[in-house]
Amino acid sequence: MEKKQIDWSSIGFGYIPTEKRYVSNYKDGKWDDGCLTEDANIVLNECAGVLQYSQSVFEGMKAYTTEDGRIVVFRPDMNAKRFADSARRLEMPVFPEDRFVDAIAQVVKANAAYVPPYGSGASLYIRPYMFGSNPVIGVKPADEYQFRAFVTPVGPYFKGGAKPITIKVSDFDRAAPHGTGHIKAGLNYAMSLHAIVTAHEEGYAENMYLDAATRTKVEETGGANFIFVTKDGKVVTPKSNSILPSITRRSILYVAEHYLGLETEEREVYLDEVKDFAECGLCGTAAVISPVGKIVDHGKEICFPSGMDEMGPVIKKLYETLTGIQMGHIEAPEGWIQVV
């Protein structure tokens, strides 16, 4: 397969249109067969559920070219399951999980020329999504939905790639205690736009959100979960019902225990104790594992001993092992890699 002529090492996390996308429609209580299309545009009624009441959910995962030239997708079955959970929470029909995985394989295969080559530092980001498409004016779920999946080649989510970033403790909340923080719905991201613009204007790369009820516990950022490393090398990650259950985080905990022999702990993490950790990182599909060098809490600086120049040693090991598994040069646990 001839790859597209793209300067892979210079692309950031942006939208580059590719040739094919997958689409399936839900009407009269059932999904149609679905197909690939070249049409990147969607024409909707002015009163569509997604336009009026934000009834939309999405997912994010990545495909890679391995050293021996195969194209692989990382744990799409996990995204299928989370997508179904998100749909149920917003009163949307579930797109069957096996069809989700098949649609991803189809759209990646159809755009194989856009999967960045092995070693380029880039990957193919996959964005499945679903939205209410028929008119609704009273507040209620739509009756008709569209499921779509497109792909776009991406580079690092944060400028500078593996360079540690500085983030701030946000004055805004991302999610309510019994709200929708644990699902991947567009509305959570709309909520975070003002906070991220404010953080960027102040020179920070991201926000650390706290729990809305007490504002004492660490939640997550706008697009990634936290991982911390204690001074004695334990991997700690915040537990909360209002954060997105990151597939990257769950994979990291497994890798830490089973590949690196590290102790792990998923528990409530108080903002007060963050200063005592040795390393901090953000983890997610887009973020991969991005090191955090400094957190600013209303003028008070928390500086991690790992510094602002490179990843701390434990986070580096986690990063190398996880990306090694994703890119096919470290043997993956059973079922983690889908070859398309």
- Nearest residue (CB) to ligand COI, 189 versus 254: 189
User: Is 312 a residue that touches ligand COI (CB under 6 A)?
Assistant: no
Q: Which of 87, 115, 210, 224 binds ligand PLP (CB under 6 A)?
A: 224
Is the Cβ–Cβ distance between 223 and 184 less than 8 Å?
no
Q: How far is the CB of 284 from ligand COI (least distance, A)?
A: 4
Nearer to ligand PLP, 34 or 284 (CB): 284
Q: Which is nearer to ligand COI, 136 or 223 (CB)?
A: 223
The reply on whether position 246 binds ligand PLP by CB under 6 A is yes
Q: How many CB atoms lie within 10 A of CB 223?
A: 21
CB-count exposure of residue 137 (10 Å: 0-12, 13-18, 19+) = exposed
Are the beta carbons of 269 and 238 closer than 8 angstroms? Answer: yes
Structure tokens at 106: 């189809």
208 alpha-carbon distance from chain centroid? 16
- Residue 154 interacts with ligand PLP (CB under 6 A): yes or no: no
Residues 90 and 143: their CA atoms lie apart, in Å, by 13
The option from ligand COI, ligand PLP, none interacting with 220 (CB < 5 to 8 A, set by class) reads ligand PLP
Q: Nearer Cβ to ligand PLP, position 207 or 306?
A: 207
Quote the crossing angle between the two packed helices 313-326 and 247-258, to the nearest 10°: 110
The answer to the question of residue 60 lying near ligand PLP (CB under 6 A) is yes
Q: Report in angstroms how near the CB of residue 327 gets to ligand COI at its nearest.
A: 17
Residue type, 233: G
- Residue labelled with tokens 């500078």: 160
CB-nearest residue to ligand COI: 60
Provide φ and ψ at 149, rounded to 5°. Answer: -145, 125
Cβ burial of 231 (10 Å; 0-12, 13-18, 19+) is exposed
Residues 26-65 that bind ligand COI (CB under 6 A): 60
Tell whether residue 155 is a contact of ligand PLP (CB under 6 A).
Answer: no
By CB under 6 A, name the binding residues for ligand COI: 60, 223, 284-286
By CB under 6 A, name the binding residues for ligand PLP: 60, 220, 223-225, 244, 246-249, 284-285
